[in-house]
Amino acid sequence: MRVRTILPPDRPGLSSRCRHGSAEPTHFEPCWLEPAPAWAETPPAARIFPAILNLPAGWTVGDAAAVAVIDQSGPEDHRHGRIVVAPAGKDAAVLEFDAKLAREAAEGGAAAPGDLLLAGLFGALVALRRDAGAGLVAAVGYGPAGAAVLLAAGETEAARYLGPAGPRFTAAAALGPGRPAFAMGATPAAEERWAERAPLLCAALATAALSGPPEAVRQDCIAALAGSVAKPGAAVASRPGQMRR
């Protein structure tokens, strides 16, 4: 299995650079990501930040992927690692990074402090879609990063960073601490079979959430991401009565 273009350290200008070549059936690759500048602004000098790419066996161009953002500036809980070992539909690549490092990398640009994490999220999306050739991409956030992840699913922020024709997140999830919340992003094309794939994503997210009974979280996720009334950009939180740990 090969990943086409999340590569290599000797090619400047790519938004990500990951070492590839492990023969393991499921393996982790260290990467360097670049924050995405706002679309209409002159890009600042690049300040890259580290990430980890988990490639499951058989993953290839066009397959699904997820961006997992860990923000330890809030209460720590190490269950966030479960999204890496049980990603969306079991066959998705997962690109994981630390929110603190992404913010530090974006500080040299023109973005306001509240936008620093969005720059990292959209940089990761570009890395997966353009450089790795991923298909659908979901965003997952832990801790304070959850709020930025939900914003990243909306068209307003996506267009501000990536322009009218840039890639988009398909869905987003804020998995706690606190009540898990979900947001639908860009509507997938019919051939992506989202109605079939969304429940697989929700099952994985329910096991990775830091709060709430997994079955209740799964059902709320399905209602938000696969329900007949789900609308792009609308965030849905799990019901308070079901969120006791």
Task: Please tell me the predicted confidence (pLDDT) of residue 214.
Answer: 92
pLDDT digits (tens, 9 = 90+) for 58-75: 888 999 999 999 887 655
Domain residue ranges in the chain: 16-242
pLDDT digits (tens, 9 = 90+) for 167-218: 999 999 999 888 899 999 999 988 888 998 899 889 988 988 888 899 999 9
Task: Please tell me the predicted confidence (pLDDT) of residue 84.
Answer: 44
**What is the rounded average pLDDT of the residues 28-32?**
85
**Which of 34-43, 133-142, 213-222, 230-239 has the lowest average pLDDT?**
230-239
Task: Please tell me the predicted confidence (pLDDT) of residue 78.
Answer: 44
pTM above the 0.85 mark? no
Residue holding tokens 């890639």? 167
Give residues with Cβ within 8 angstroms of 171, minimum separation 6. 138, 139, 153, 182, 183, 184, 185, 198, 201, 225
Task: Output phi, psi for 53, to 5 deg.
Answer: -105, 120
pLDDT: which is higher, 25 or 55: 55
Element spanning 53, H or E = strand 49-55
pLDDT digits (tens, 9 = 90+) for 40-58: 666 655 578 889 888 888 8
Give bridge partners of residue 142 from the DSSP assignment: 70
Angle 226-198-179 from CA coordinates, rounded to 5°: 75
Q: How confident is the model at residue 2 (pLDDT cuts 50, 70, 90)?
A: very low
**pLDDT(244) > 90:** no
Per-residue tokens: 2: 């090969």
Give the separation between CA 204 and CA 189, rounded to whole angstroms: 22
Q: Give the percent of the chain with pLDDT over 90.
A: 33
